[in-house]
Amino acid sequence: MLILRVVSKAIFPIFLLYTIYLLARGHQQIGGGFIAGVMLGLTMAALYIGISREFAKKCFGVKGYHVLGIGLLVAIITGIGAFFYGLPFLTSGFREFNIFFFGHVELATAAVFDFGIFITVFGVLLVIIDTLSQSIEGED
Amino acid sequence: MSYPLLAILVPVLGACTVAPVYRYFGRWVGWWSTAVAALASLIVILQLANLDTIHGAVSQMSWAWLPELNINVSLYVDGLGLIFCLLIACVGTVVLGYSNYYLSSDENLGRFHVLMLLFMASMLGIVLSDNLILLFLFWEATTFTSFMLVGYWDTENESRYSASKALYITVFGGLAMLGGFVLLYVVTGTFEFSNLLEHASDIKEHSYYWIITVLILLGAFTKSAQFPFQNWLPTAMVAPTPVSAYLHSAAMVKAGIFLMLRMFPVLGGTSLWVYLVTTVGIITMCYGAYHGVRQFDIKKLLAYSTVSQLGLIVALIGMSTPLALFAAVFHVFNHSLFKGALFLLAGVIDHLTGTRVMNKLGGLARAAPVLALLTGCAALAMAGLPPFNGFLSKELFLHAATDLESGTGVFNYFVIVLAVGGSVLTVVYSMRIFHGIFFGSRPESLGSLHKIPFGMIAFVAVPTVFVLIVGIYSQPFVHGLIEPASLMLFPNQYESIHHVAEEVSLWHGVTLPLILSVSIVTTGFLIYGTLRYRLRLIREAPATISDIIYDRIYYPIMIHGLSKVYLVVQSGYLRHYVMGVSIVLIGVVGYTVIAKELWQVLTFDQSYDMEPYELGLVLLLCLATLVTACARDRLSAVISFGVVGGLVTGVWIIYSAPDLALTQLLIEAMSLVLFVLVFVHGLPFSKVSFALSKKMRDIILSACVGGVVTLLMWIVTFSALFPSISPYFLMESIAQAGGHNVVNVIIVDFRGFDTLGEITVVAVAAIALFSVHKLSKKEDEIC
């Protein structure tokens, strides 16, 4: 178990970075909200299994059902946003920007929706893993 | 941002803020929601002032929602909608203010105010919607909030029974109405009410006309508690009194009336409409009044009187003359004022004496003179006595009933006789409330009286004062509100409606309606006078035919019958669900292949050179699958299944689908983690050992599914039945969505709605898992 302990701690920042990487490039290259959400879920699962439920909970410090609620809210609000431009629900818009250091970047509202998916998927996995590991560790 | 949308959004946003306000400020949440309602009223009044409804001005606005299905967020603001808006928002404000005194702070005030504000928003939505589908959504939102509010005291069996009764009956009507809307769409090709107006004559001549009318009227009749669907309303009186005052007298039951008025220019005026609507209305009026006289609980009496008054309004809508429709709108307005006031007063009496049973009440006038005065105003308005507002609309009702143009002679007499009969009974029950409670001897059993807070009386006084003001100074209300609304129903008859409006006054000489009024009131007083001394003769009415049908047939079918179906469909075993899905798949695909003779496109001469590593991958895949199927225990099944998943990832990589490969890999890892969590710590798993017959069944089913899917793949690969959609996505991905990752663009943009649905389902599944676990553990603290 020691190996698992050490490894799950060690991979945590790497996986976290990879998650952000997957999320950020999702619209242009391989990646996206769903994959990034599962990735972060796996990172968290490693902490749950490798170390302990308490540690993992301390690490994330949020409750799964809050997270998934916020995620759904982000997704839905993105959809409603289109109404303010007189467009149908969930119509996306995008624009190209020139941002210092990043250079030429296209930003789309769909990316915000994608972020909502990411949050929701992570929240779902957090709820599931937390619930399952709780029934395992028994009465706490 | 436009005013009407704001009027709907303000209560919704207010409802969103109720939870934090309740958490941090406790019972002050009631005043917060009152303020929100007042803001909504202010917006409605501003809108009313802005729009020149007196000359028939209409304001329309539309936001695309699902334009492919002709479903839009489109609003239609006219005189008719605005008068309802005004009632909904203002009565709502008064009722919410009153509820601060009525509900004790031990109750779950947060839930109450969230539901009341959501209800207000959905009611405003109904009366402002242009799109019929939008209207239907708001309509069902009121059904839902009403269900939750009737069952507010959810630990009591009676509340739950009443709430489900209201739900089952009104949902049935709502679905019928949706069917009517869809048929209207079939006939006219539009869901927008404003466009339907142009098609009115086509609709009336269409062969679907009668079925559309009956379906939409079913929705209106169930919602507005018309005979024989009236029985949910009296039982709904178990709700807290503010709910009864608001939902079940002033607002929600008026939704059916509103629908009939809204649809009148499109569907109304035909002989089917006249006979059906008038008959139902006038029967409901008498039926409700008769049962009202026989009640002992004040709230039940008021509920039956609401049924009766709604019947009167419906009868007026059926009569289809400008005079009758004018009277209908006017009576909607008046009824909301005096009936809202009466319900609130019933709550005050309950608060004062601790009982609502009329036998135990009497002689309260000396102890509570102000209360007696207010009740007197409202009850006499209901009875139709001058100088109160009820008198004005009652006169118009009698005038309209004696002035029927359409219909045969027998029908007209039938209407007049029942109208007079119903009105007499109305006088009787009104007197029972006023005279029976406040005069006569005070029963011994009535103990000491509680103190009534001043604010409670103040909030009740507001509608009561308006009862009197509208009665005496009727012209500003009639010209500012009622006339514009009636004008929307008869757009071409400005003259005749204006003429009717001019004539509204307390006195216009000795006319037939006045003679009828006088004789009705006299007869009513006489009957009440004789009944008073024979109160023993009044017995609680026996179960009505509607109750018997509901309790003996409808309810058992809904509860017992459907729960049996439910148990068969929802067995709770995953394998049964998978079996169901498989059988449907085999059936649908197999049928299509046979019916369209698709096997003819299959060819065998397509040669494909398999690389050795591809062949190896496929063979390994087959092997792993076989191992999974033959695994003796679950752990090895899970592991070998993981191997299958990993190999499939390999397939994705070979055929260049990196997105899928990544997703598959992550999901495989995730499933393994979940299985580990479940297994290592041993959640109870029943041991699987099936009989041979079941094994055979599973094998045959699996073989069929495999065969069908293979066949499908084969057909899809070797034939081009439809042009592929891939080029479209590849081309449009950058142009329309600005993304190079086509898979991601499809997920978040082109098919964004699907994705939203999917993540919602996933979220619901997680919450279900959490709740099931919480329930099964029955622990107080889970997280």
Three-class SS string for B184-207? HHHHHCCCEHHHHHHHHHHHHHCC
* pLDDT tens for each residue of B252-309: 889 999 999 999 988 888 888 888 999 999 999 998 988 888 888 888 889 999 999 9
The four Cα atoms B416, B418, B423, B429 give a dihedral, to 10 degrees, of 170
Using the 3D structure, point to which of B476, B508, B539 is the last residue of a domain. Answer: B539
ipTM above threshold 0.85: yes
pLDDT-based confidence at residue B680 (cuts at 50, 70, 90): low
Q: What is the mean pLDDT of residues A42-58?
A: 84
Residue B46 maps to a domain: no
- Per-residue pLDDT tens for A75-125? 888 887 777 776 767 677 776 666 666 566 666 777 888 888 899 999 999
Percent pLDDT > 70 in chain B is 94
The answer to whether the CB atoms of A124 and B752 lie below 8 A apart is no
Residue B767 included in any domain: yes
B298 within domain boundaries: yes
A68 chain-B contacts, CB cut-off 8 A: 763, 766-767
Q: How confident is the model at residue B584 (pLDDT cuts 50, 70, 90)?
A: very high
Those of residues 43-102 in A touching chain B at CB distance below 8 A are 45, 48-49, 63-65, 68-69, 71-72, 75-76, 79, 83, 86-90, 92, 94-96
How do residues B298-314 score in pLDDT, each as one tens digit? 888 899 999 999 999 99
Two structure tokens written together for A11: 């991979």
Query: Domain locations in chain A?
Result: 2-137
| Distance to chain A for B164, nearest Cα, Å | 29
Domain contains B159: no
Q: Which domain holds residue B736?
A: 723-783
Residue of A nearest to B735 (CA): A94
Q: Of B539, B572, B588, which residue sits at a domain end?
A: B539
Strand partners, B328: none
According to the model, what pLDDT value does residue B132 have? Answer: 92
Half-sphere exposure of B360 (CA within 13 A, CB side): 14
Give B113's contacts (C-beta < 8 A, 6+ positions apart): B15, B18, B22, B29, B30, B32, B33, B96
pLDDT, chain B, mean: 84
Q: Is A108 on the interface with B (CB under 8 A)?
A: yes
Q: List, as one string, the DSSP characters of B244-307.
A: HHIIIIISTHHHHHHHHHHHHHHHTTSHHHHHHHHHHHHHHHHHHHHHHHT--BHHHHHHHHHH
> Which tokens hold the place of B579?
């079996």
Minimum Cα–Cα distance from A112: chain B residue = B748
A35 in contact with B at a CB cutoff of 8 Å? yes
Q: Do B737 and A92 make contact, defined as CB atoms within 8 angstroms? A: yes
Task: Indicate if the pLDDT at residue B180 is higher than 90.
Answer: yes
Contact A114 B673 (CB under 8 A): no
Answer yes or no: is B630 within a domain: no
- Model pLDDT, residue B777: 66
The pLDDT value recorded for residue B771 is 86
Chain A interface, mutation test: which of B652, B744, B776, most A Cβ atoms within 10 Å? B744
How many structural domains are present in chain B?
2
> Poorest-confidence range of A58-67, A97-106, B751-760?
A97-106
Of B499, B516, B539, the domain-final residue: B539
**Cβ–Cβ of B741/A87 closer than 8 Å?**
no
pLDDT band at residue A140 under the 50/70/90 scheme = very low
Would you state the pLDDT for residue B644?
Answer: 92
Size of chain B, expressed as the number of residues it contains: 783
How confident is the model at residue B542, as a pLDDT? 64
Summarize pLDDT for B419-461 with one digit per residue, the tens: 889 899 899 888 888 888 888 777 777 777 788 888 888 999 9
Q: What is the mean pLDDT of chain A?
A: 80
Residue B294 lies in a domain: yes
Q: Considering the domain boundaries, does residue B234 fall inside one?
A: no
Residue B83 near residue B54 (C-beta atoms within 8 A): no
Q: Which pLDDT score, from 0 to 100, does residue B480 have? A: 82
Reported pTM = 0.80
Task: Extract the tokens encoding A52.
Answer: 């302990």
Query: What residue of A is the nearest CA neighbor of B669?
Result: A42
User: Measured between beta carbons, which residues in chain A are less than 8 angstroms from residue B766?
Assistant: 64-65, 68, 123-124, 127-128
Identify the band that residue B532 occupies on the pLDDT scale cut at 50, 70 and 90: low
Position B685 scores a pLDDT of: 55
**Phi, psi (rounded to 5 degrees) for B64:** -65, 135
Within-domain flag for B647 = no
C-alpha–C-alpha distance, residues B641 and B626, integer Å: 10
Query: Nearest residue of A to residue B674 by CA position?
Result: A129
Which pLDDT does position B93 carry in this prediction? Answer: 92
Question: Contact A30/B659, CB-based, under 8 Å?
Answer: yes
